[in-house]
Structures are given as C-alpha cells and as structure tokens.
C-alpha cells in the first residue's frame, strides 16, 4: 500500500489492485479495479466520512484550502484525492471549499512492461499523444513510456504538477521513473515548460493531461525547440485537436487512443501522421 490512508478501516476489505475509491457521505462505498466497478453494501456514515477527511487532510483542512480550490489534494505516493463540496466564491474565483461530501481517491499503479506491446522503439524520436477518457490508463502508460525512454539513455523531463506520474513527495518518488528522468513536481505547467527547456536540456518532455492554452504554448515551444513531447489528453476520439488544441495538429507524429473496455488501458486505435 503506497499510503497509510489506505489502511483506514473503511478500506480494510478492498483488493490490492484497487485503482479508485469513491467515498460519498451517506452513500454506499464504491471502488474500481482495472477490471470492474464494485458497489459495497456499506453506507458511509457522517462520522466515518469526517474521520476519513481528517486522515486525508492530516487533521489540517485549513492548511489545504488553496489546494482544495483546485478540486483535489495530492497525497504521498502519487495518490490524488478529488474533493467535491460547497464552493465559496470571492468575486469570480473559488476561495475555499466547505462541507465536503465526496472524495474520489485515485491510487496510481505501476505496471511494468505495459508499454512493451506498443513496441517502445517506435516512440524514440517521436512526438506521441495518448488520448483516453478519465481512468482509461493513460497515466500508467505514460509513466511506463517515460521509464523506458529514460532507461534507454534519453534525458526525460517529467512535468508532474500533481506528483501523480512519479509519486513525488518529500524529496523522493514512489514510482520507478527511470535513471535519466528529472521531475518538475509542483510547478505550474506554464513555468514547468519554460524551466525544462531552459535548464534541463531534455530529449523528451513527458506531461500528463494537456488542458489549456498554457499547455499548447509549452508543447509548441518544445516542438520548435527540437524537443520531443509525450503527452496525454482527455478524450474518447482521435479528433483531439479541436478548439484550443488545434495548433497542435502538426506536432504529434502518433496518436494512441485508449479505451476502458474491455479492460483499462486497451489500445483502441493508433494513428500515424
């Protein structure tokens, strides 16, 4: 177990391959593995929920107010806890979140060799975009590609804002990310691209969940600077380059579309430029 949170009594009967746990106040506990979704009979009481929230926040919810406004809490071992509750506005920005009612605990898994079937050699000197719906296995695949590239003597810079890919925290990494991987953890993406290109001399920039203009600008800078980019994007079609992402049309040499069916991480389609 990567984090003491998972030793909480609510989770004592969960299988070891659990990838996501949904804890909702006064509702039934639900979890996901790579193969199935299970709804337990146990209804989470207010007291159990508050106790779990206290563990998640290390009894210091006030210290995490700013992180809560992003909707999630990054924990040790790359665990990410999504938080839903009442947003308190200050003008047009979320000031804090009160009365938390749901927690989505996502547990990262490292599956060695998961990228082998893609033929890792094909990814050398290529820009690759992995497209998948949420919880489709893209981060797991991305982590493994980064590790493989790194172990093949390429300098890989991981832009890991939330520590989800590397399991970063307290100066170390919970995941194996390769001998030649440098991690920019906690850096907002717009700063991370800049720092990676300026200071880390990467062969590859690896980043999860492209999400806006900052990412598009960063990827383009890397592309025009001769650095290869391996990235992921939320989606369920290969028509990924719409709207804000349209400038990236010419960037990626290969698009890999993942599906959750029949199992998480299934390659549904691959497109070569």
| Complex with another protein: residue 64 or 255, whichever CB lies closer | 64
CB of 78 to another protein, least distance (A): 20
Residues in 88-147 that interact with another protein by CB under 8 A: 88, 95-98
Give the nearest distance from C-beta 57 to another protein in angstroms: 7
**Residue environment code for 40-67, b if the CB has 16+ CB neighbours within 10 A, otherwise e:** eeeebeeebbeebbebbbeeebeebeeb
The smaller minimum CB distance to another protein, of residues 53 and 231, is found at: 53
**Number of Cβ atoms within 10 Å of the Cβ of 198:** 9
Which residues lie below 8 Å from residue 134, measured CB to CB, with a gap of 6+? 234
Q: In angstroms, rounded to a whole number, what is the distance separating the alpha carbons of residues 102 and 159?
A: 28
- Nearer to another protein among residue 34 and residue 96 (C-beta): 96
Using CB under 8 A as the binding criterion, the count of chain residues that bind another protein stands at 17
Cβ closer to another protein: 17 or 66? 66
133 DSSP 8-state letter: -
Which 33-72 positions form the footprint of another protein (CB under 8 A)? 50, 53-54, 57-63, 65, 68
* Least distance (Å) between residue 30 CB and another protein: 24
CB 32 → another protein: shortest distance, Å? Answer: 28
**CB-wise, 97 or 146, nearer to another protein?**
97
Question: Which of the residues 216 through 245 are near another protein (CB under 8 A)?
Answer: none
Shorter beta-carbon distance to another protein: residue 54 or 249: 54
Q: Which tokens go with 85? A: 């509750």
CB of 58 to another protein, least distance (A): 6
262: preceding bond cis by omega (within 30 degrees): yes
Of residues 4, 2, 252, 262, the one with CA closest to residue 136 = 262
What are the tokens at 15? 């299988």
Contact present, 163 and 144 (Cβ < 8 Å): no
- As measured in angstroms, the least distance from the Cβ of 61 to another protein is 6
d(CA 148, CA 18): 25
Report the interface residues with another protein, using CB under 8 A.
50, 53-54, 57-63, 65, 68, 88, 95-98
């Amino acid at each position: 177990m990567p984090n003491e949170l998972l030793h909480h009594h609510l989770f004592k009967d969960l299988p070891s391959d659990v990838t996501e746990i949904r804890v909702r106040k006064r509702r039934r506990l639900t979890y996901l593995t790579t193969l199935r979704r299970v709804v337990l009979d146990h209804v989470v009481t207010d007291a159990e929920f508050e106790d779990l929230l206290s563990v998640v926040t290390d009894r210091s919810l006030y210290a995490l107010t700013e992180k809560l406004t992003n909707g999630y809490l990054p924990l040790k071992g790359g665990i990410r806890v999504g938080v839903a509750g009442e947003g308190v506005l200050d003008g047009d920005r979320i000031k804090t979140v009160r009365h938390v009612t749901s927690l989505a605990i996502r547990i990262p898994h490292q599956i060695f060799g998961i990228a082998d079937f893609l033929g890792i050699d094909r990814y050398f000197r290529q820009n690759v975009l992995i497209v998948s719906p949420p919880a489709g296995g893209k981060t797991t695949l991305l982590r493994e590609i980064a590790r493989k590239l790194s172990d093949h003597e390429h300098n890989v810079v991981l832009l890991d804002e939330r520590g989800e890919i590397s399991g970063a925290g307290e100066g170390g990494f919970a995941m194996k990310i390769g001998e030649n991987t440098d991690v920019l953890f906690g850096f907002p993406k717009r700063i991370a691209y800049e720092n990676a290109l300026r200071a880390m001399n990467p062969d590859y920039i690896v980043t999860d969940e492209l999400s806006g203009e900052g990412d598009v600008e960063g990827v383009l800078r890397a592309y025009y600077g001769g650095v290869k980019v391996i990235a992921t994007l939320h989606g369920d079609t290969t028509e990924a380059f719409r709207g804000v992402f349209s400038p990236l049309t010419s960037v990626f040499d290969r698009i890999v579309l993942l599906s959750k069916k029949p199992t998480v991480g299934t390659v549904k389609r691959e497109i070569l430029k």
